[in-house]
């Protein structure tokens, strides 16, 4: 998701993500910027892909409160990233999930209900997007480059999911952080 401070030009498109941080996020952001220099996206795991909310003056606030309450059912968990892969249909280059896949799938299933329920165009497949919207002829080379950069990465490839960020899109396709929502009881790492 692309981070932004402003709310100008917001549209009815919301998502729930877990931002990555540290050297892991830096590498994935660098790879994305190599292919989309104008992108302001920040490396993240998506728990609820973009979706509209039912129109109302309090839609976002009501959705955030509902998510905040549901997230109390989930304890923080570790996600270990896997290999660089490509979705065949969309040609999106992404990092697979080795550990934490089940937790992300369960969380998605539980949260995709109520005020944020949405019939998504693709089955939920937890991943970290690296680059998307490339010309078809550029995907193979981009994936090979991303795999090479990923193979050179010497830092841990895991993150703790302890909080999620509720975000909203804008007319400029710049995602605005609306709220940070904590998972339930914290575990000692």
pTM of the model: 0.88
Round to whole Å and give the CA distance between 149 and 139.
15
Q: How sure is the predictor about 185, in pLDDT bands with cuts at 50, 70 and 90?
A: confident
For residue 119, pLDDT beyond 50? yes
CATH for 10-182 is 3.90.1140.10
47-84 per-position pLDDT tens digit: 999 999 987 668 889 999 999 999 999 999 999 999 99
Would you state the pLDDT for residue 20? 96
Q: How far is CA 135 from CA 5, 35, 128, 139, 147, in A?
A: 30, 11, 20, 7, 18
Tell me the mean pLDDT in the region 33-57.
87
Would you state the pLDDT for residue 5? 42
17-28 per-position pLDDT tens digit: 999 999 999 999
């Amino acid at each position: 998701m692309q981070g932004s401070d402003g709310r100008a030009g917001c549209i009815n498109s919301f998502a729930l993500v877990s931002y990555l941080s540290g050297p892991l996020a830096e590498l994935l952001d660098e790879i994305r910027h190599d292919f989309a220099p104008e992108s302001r996206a920040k490396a993240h795991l998506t728990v609820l892909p973009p979706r509209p909310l039912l129109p109302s003056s309090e839609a976002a606030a009501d959705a955030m409160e509902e998510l905040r309450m549901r997230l109390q059912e989930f304890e923080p968990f570790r996600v270990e990233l896997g290999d660089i892969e490509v979705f065949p249909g969309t040609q999106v280059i992404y990092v697979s999930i080795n550990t934490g896949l089940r937790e992300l799938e369960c969380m998605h299933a539980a949260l995709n209900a109520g005020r944020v329920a949405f019939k998504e165009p693709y089955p939920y497949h937890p991943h970290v997007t690296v680059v998307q919207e490339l010309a078809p002829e550029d995907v193979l080379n981009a994936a090979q480059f991303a795999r090479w950069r990923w193979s050179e990465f010497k830092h841990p490839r895991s993150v703790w999911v302890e909080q999620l960020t509720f975000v909203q899109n804008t007319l400029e396709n710049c995602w605005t952080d609306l709220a940070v929502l904590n998972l339930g009881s914290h575990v000692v790492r």
